[in-house]
Amino acid sequence: MNRAVFIDRDGTINIDKDYLTDPGDLELIEGSSEAIRIANALGLKVIVISNQSGVSRGIMTAAQVDSVNSKLVDMLKRSGARVDAMYYCPHHPNYGDKVDCECRKPRIGMLLRAKAEFDLDLAASFVVGDKWSDVKCGENAGTYTSLVQTGYGESDYQRCIDGGIKIDYLAENLFDSVSNFIRKKIETDN
């Protein structure tokens, strides 16, 4: 079985711009490309997972999300970083069709999809994100978790503490998480 790092998109890899619809507005957080290159070198599958409720809310279209995702993959590829898959949840329980889905984080539907497609060992994998829902998703799936202090990370840290959500590593950013937590965990396991 393979190991993966599941990485949230907005606020973790790129600067969160509240319902990013224009690929031209996409900006990487410093160190993100290098972090993903390190994950690639460690043999991890890199899976981007993102809640994109703006689709249900009518703020953006699925085509706009796909366009931003495509630009992100291209930007990372140009810097030598590879993303193996990108999944997103377009649903919100209070908007649109009011779908009670299994894919919206903190639920684990996107992780289960990746597990099936890539033969992943979730217990040996990692979830990194800037929101409580990212960390809770990882906890729900039995992965290691890391909360980054970029995006909403600083404000969501207390929400994790108050909610009893287990954070395995509190990181400055994605680079810190991958280089100082994930890499060391993998080296220790080997």
Domain ranges of the chain: 4-189
Find tokens 């033969």 and name the residue. 119
Q: Which residues are catalytic?
A: 8, 10
pLDDT in tens, 72-108: 999 999 999 999 999 999 998 787 776 789 999 999 9
Burial of 170 (0-12, 13-18, 19+ CB in 10 A): middle
Q: Which residues contact 85 (CB under 8 A, 6 or more apart)?
A: 45, 47, 48, 114, 117, 118
pLDDT at 190: 75
Nearest to 127 by CA among 1, 33, 26, 12: 12
Nearest to 163 by CA among 103, 92, 106: 106
Structure tokens at 42: 């460690």
**CATH fold for the domain made of 4-189:** Rossmann fold (3.40.50)
pLDDT at 145: 98
